[in-house]
Structure 1
Amino acid sequence: MTSSDMDIDEGEDPSEFEGGAYWFRQGAKGAFCLPTLILMMAFVGFTSLAREVGLTLTEVLLMSLFMWALPSIVVLTGAMSAGAGLIPAAIAVALSAVRLMPMTVALMPVLRDEKRTKTWHMLIVSHFVAVTAWVFAMRNLPSMPRAARLPFFAGFGSTVHFVVLCSTALSYIVLPAVEGPIAAGLVLLTPIYFMFSMYQASRTSGDKAALILGLILGPVFYHFFPGADLLLTGFVGGTVAFAGWLFATRRAEL
C-alpha cells in the first residue's frame, strides 16, 4: 500500500478526510501488507528460539511488547541463555538498539506537525520505530498531508504491533519446536527483506554506498571486534559513504 492507494473509502464522511481518525484507520489498513507478514514469520522463528531457552509465554510477550525490535530481543534472549548478568545484558541490548536512534531522529521531522503535534505524541509513536515501520513510513509519509502523517503512522505501528503480538502468542502455543537453522532463517527474513527494500528506496548514491559498505564491513568488524561490530559498521561505513557522496557532489558542481 502506498500513498497513491489511499483514496477515500466508500461510505466515509468527506468532512473526516483530513481528520486524525480517518488517517489512523488508513494506517491500520496499510499494516496488512507483505512486510508485516515477513515480520510475523520472523517472530515465529524467535518463539522457537525462546522455547529452547526456556522462556515462558508471558516473558516472550512482555519482551515483544516493550522491546519490540527483534534484534534487541534476540540479543537479550542470548544473554539470558548464557547466564549474563543484568548490567552486561543491558549494555548488549542498548548497543544493539543504537541503530534506532538515527532512524528516529530522521523520522520525527517527517511526522511532526508544528501546529498540532505534542511532545507526548512523539514519545508514544517513537516506540513503533523499527525497520518495518521506518521503511514503510519513509516511503509513504512524505507525499501525504502533514496533518495526516502522525495518525497514519500511529495506526500503522499499533496495528502491526498488535498483529505480531497475537501471531507470536499463537505460534508459541500451537506450533511445535522449529529446527534451529529454520528458526534462525525465519529471524533473518526481516533484515534481508528490508535491506533490499532500503536499497530500492535509497534516494542518493551515498545511501546505496552505505548499504554496500555495511555488507562488506559487517563481517570484518564481527571477526575483529565482536560486540561492537554493529556500532562500528554503521559509524565507519556511514561516514565513508557520506564523505564520498559529499566529495562527488561538490566535484560535480565545479
Structure 2
Amino acid sequence: MTSSDMDIDEGVDPSEFEGGAYWFRQGAKGAFCLPTLILMMAFVGFTSLAREVGLTLTEVLLMSLFMWALPSIVVLTGAMSAGAGLISAAIAVALSAVRLMPMTVALMPVLRDGKRTKTWHMLIVSHFVAVTAWVFAMRNLPSMPRAARLPFFAGFGSTVHFVVLCSTALSYMVLPAVEGPIAAGLVLLTPIYFMFSMYQASRTSGDKAALILGLILGPVFYHFFPGADLLLTGFVGGTVAFVGWLFATRRAEL
C-alpha cells in the first residue's frame, strides 16, 4: 500500500483536523491492509511452532504483546525449546532486537512535532516499531501534516497489534497443527514481503545496493560466521553500499 492509498476521507480538508482523534481513526483504518494480513499469516506459523515446543496460549499472547517483533519471539521460542538459560536467552533476544534501534532512531524525527510531542508519547509508540509499521510509516507519514503523524502512527500500530493478537489467539485455539516446513514458510512471509517493499521504497541507488549486497553477503557470512552473520551482513553491506553511493554522487557532481 502506497501513500496514494492512504488518502483521507473524500471531501475533507486535512488542515481542518488538528486533533489527534481524527488521525488516530485514519491510522486505524489504514491498518486493514496487505502488510497486516501477511503479518497475521506469519503469526499463524509461529503459533504452530509454539504449540510444538509446548508453549501455552497465555505464554504465546504475552510474548506477542510485550515483544511484538516476530524474529525476537522466534529466537526466544528456540532458546526455550533448547533449554537455554535465562541470561543466554536474554542475550540472544537482545541481539536479535538490535536492528530495531536504528529503525526507531530514523522514525522518531518523522513523528515528532516539535515541543508539542512529549517524551512519553514517543516511548509508547516506539513499542509498535517493527518492520511492518516502520516500512508503512516511512512510506506514508512524510506526506502528512506533521501534527497528524504521531496519532496516525499510534492508531495504525495499536490496531495492527490488536488484530494480530486476536488472530494469534484464534489460530492457536482453532487451527490444527501446521507442518513444520509450512509453518516456517509462513513465518518467512513477512521478511520476504518487506524486503521487496523496502526495495520499492528506496530513494537512492545506495539503498538498493545495500539490499542487494545483503542478499549476497548474508549466506556467505552465515556459512563462515554463524551467530554474527546478521551484524556482519548489515555492517559490511551497508558500509560498502554507502561508500559506493557517496563516491558515485561526488563523481557525478564534478
Q: Same fold (TM over 0.5)?
A: yes
Question: What displacement does 1:231 show?
Answer: 1.1
Rounded to whole Å, the distance in 2 between the matches of 1:148 and 1:15 is 10
Question: What displacement does 1:4 show?
Answer: 3.9
Question: What displacement does 1:232 show?
Answer: 1.2
Q: Deviations over 1:170-200 (max 9, x none)?
A: 0000000000000000000000000000000
Does the 8 Å CA contact 1:95/1:228 hold for their aligned counterparts?
no
Rounded to whole Å, the distance in 2 between the matches of 1:16 and 1:111 is 19
Change (3 A) 1:13 1:197: closer
Query: Which residue of structure 2 aligns with residue 55 of structure 1?
Result: 55
Change (3 A) 1:83 1:137: same
Query: Which residue of structure 2 aligns with residue 183 of structure 1?
Result: 183
Does the 8 Å CA contact 1:8/1:17 hold for their aligned counterparts?
no
Q: How many residues align?
A: 254
Percent identity of equivalent pairs? 98
Does the 8 Å CA contact 1:213/1:237 hold for their aligned counterparts?
yes
Does the 8 Å CA contact 2:64/2:73 hold for their aligned counterparts?
yes
Question: What displacement does 1:226 show?
Answer: 1.3
Query: Which residue of structure 2 aligns with residue 118 of structure 1?
Result: 118
Change (3 A) 1:71 1:246: same
Q: Deviations over 1:83-131 (max 9, x none)?
A: 1111111111111111111111110000000031001100110000000
Question: What displacement does 1:76 show?
Answer: 0.5
Change (3 A) 1:54 1:16: farther
Question: What displacement does 1:11 show?
Answer: 10
Does the 8 Å CA contact 1:214/1:233 hold for their aligned counterparts?
yes
Does the 8 Å CA contact 2:6/2:140 hold for their aligned counterparts?
no
TM-score normalised by structure 2 residue count: 0.96
Unaligned runs of 5+ in 2: none
Rounded to whole Å, the distance in 2 between the matches of 1:157 and 1:199 is 22
State the SS of the aligned residue for 1:115. Answer: helix
Does the 8 Å CA contact 2:8/2:26 hold for their aligned counterparts?
no
TM-score normalised by structure 1 residue count: 0.96
Within 5 Å, give how 1:1-254 maps onto structure 2. 2-9=2-9, 17-254=17-254
State the SS of the aligned residue for 1:32. Answer: coil
Rounded to whole Å, the distance in 2 between the matches of 1:207 and 1:14 is 32
Change (3 A) 1:6 1:236: closer
Q: Deviations over 1:209-231 (max 9, x none)?
A: 00001111111111111111111
Does the 8 Å CA contact 1:53/1:81 hold for their aligned counterparts?
yes
Question: What displacement does 1:8 show?
Answer: 4.9
Rounded to whole Å, the distance in 2 between the matches of 1:151 and 1:95 is 30
Question: What displacement does 1:15 show?
Answer: 8.6
Rounded to whole Å, the distance in 2 between the matches of 1:214 and 1:13 is 42
Q: Deviations over 1:5-51 (max 9, x none)?
A: 45554798989622100000000000000000000000000000000
Does the 8 Å CA contact 2:46/2:74 hold for their aligned counterparts?
yes
Q: Which stretch of the first structure deviates more once superposed, 202-211 or 217-226?
A: 217-226
